[in-house]
Amino acid sequence: MATLIIAEHDDVHLNEATAKALSAAQALGKPIDILVAGHQAKAVADAAAQLAGVRTVLLADGESLANRRAEPLADLVLSLADKYEAIVAPATSAGKNVAPRVAALLDVMQVSEITKVVAPDTFERPIYAGNAIETVQTSDKKLVLTVRIAAFPAAATGGNAAIETIAAPADAGLSRFVGAELSVSDRPELASARVIVSGGRALGSADKFQEVIAPLADQLKAAIGASRAAVDAGYAPNDWQVGQTGKVVAPELYIAVGISGAIQHLAGMKDSKVIVAINKDGDAPIFQVADYGLVDDLFTVVPALTKALAN
């Protein structure tokens, strides 16, 4: 038996989340195939074939698989499931949408957001907003796993897997695609950025958020993040939110500006390699996880730091 990874992509580019899910899947010790399901997604299959350690890339290309609706994709995965011992998806919005449906149709327990493979049937996953690590052992003969991509490195390239074309499923009509509003930005994608500058409620307004955070992020070529409090207050859009109910990130450098460090926020960024906290409250919880902390007024410190970086 083998492992099947559901690729994360936009029909044009293979998302790095797939390579990170591959790293997790390799620890299962079984041959690995990658399923690329989409519409006019041959370029994605070519990219997946270059990942090291992949046996075969299965390319299902059809209009029913456009826009990554969960229902036709789950039907496709179910049709392939007999050949696989484990089905793995990144714990992204798309992965979280389809994996529970696959698990339900297979009548097995999904093991969600794993951060470590202890054994082929035993996994670690965070619970209680990341304050505890749960070890889960499953007796199901078929595994359905979602992978917290911040916990795994991206698999290397250099592979040359075969690409096999398979039939796309018919559309059962259970859902339909209405439309999408995509934010366009020259900044790195938040989930995969090497550097992130995040702002909190202490910035006071959407204007101040942009005035203070954006110039520093520009100097560092960084993505911009925000705490839930800042998003709820309207200082930043929802897709910038970092935390348990937002994006889980693990950049090389995370700069938290005016963020107190509520549990749900820490759950989304505490695996960052280096954490810098700037807050005038020396007792803020963010300092408990920070590698470097500065207790000072952010409206003085951050512009000075931005100016120093520019010189």
Judge if 2-166 and 190-310 fold alike in CATH terms: yes
pLDDT at 183: 67
Q: What is the dihedral of CA 247, 253, 255, 261, to 10 degrees?
A: 50
pLDDT at 30: 96
Matching residue, tokens 């297979």: 106
Q: What is the DSSP letter of 169?
A: P
pLDDT tens track, the chain, 311 positions: 899 999 999 999 999 999 999 999 999 999 999 999 999 999 999 999 999 999 999 999 999 998 889 999 999 999 999 999 999 999 998 999 999 999 999 999 999 999 999 999 999 999 887 778 999 999 999 999 999 998 999 999 999 999 999 999 988 888 888 887 766 677 888 888 999 999 999 999 999 999 999 999 999 999 999 999 999 999 999 999 999 888 989 999 999 999 999 988 998 998 899 999 999 999 999 999 999 999 999 999 999 999 999 98
For the record, the structure tokens of 76 come out as 């496709």
pTM of the model: 0.82
Q: Can you give the residue ranges of every domain in the chain? A: 2-166, 190-310
Distance CA(1)–CA(150), nearest Å, equals 27
Q: What is the DSSP letter of 81?
A: G
Which among 24, 13, 299, 65 is positioned nearest to 172, based on CA atoms? 65
**CATH class of the domain comprising 2-166:** alpha beta
Q: Which CATH architecture has domain 190-310?
A: 3-Layer(aba) Sandwich (3.40)
Furthest CA-CA distance within the chain: 61
Print the SS3 string covering 14-70. ECHHHHHHHHHHHCCCCCEEEEEEECCCHHHHHHHHCECCCCEEEEEECHHHHHHCH
Distance CA(41)–CA(190), nearest Å, equals 24
Print the SS3 string covering 186-251. CCCCHHHCCEEEEECHHHCCHHHHHHHHHHHHHHHCCEEEECHHHHHCCCCCHHHEECCCCECCCC
pLDDT at 127: 87
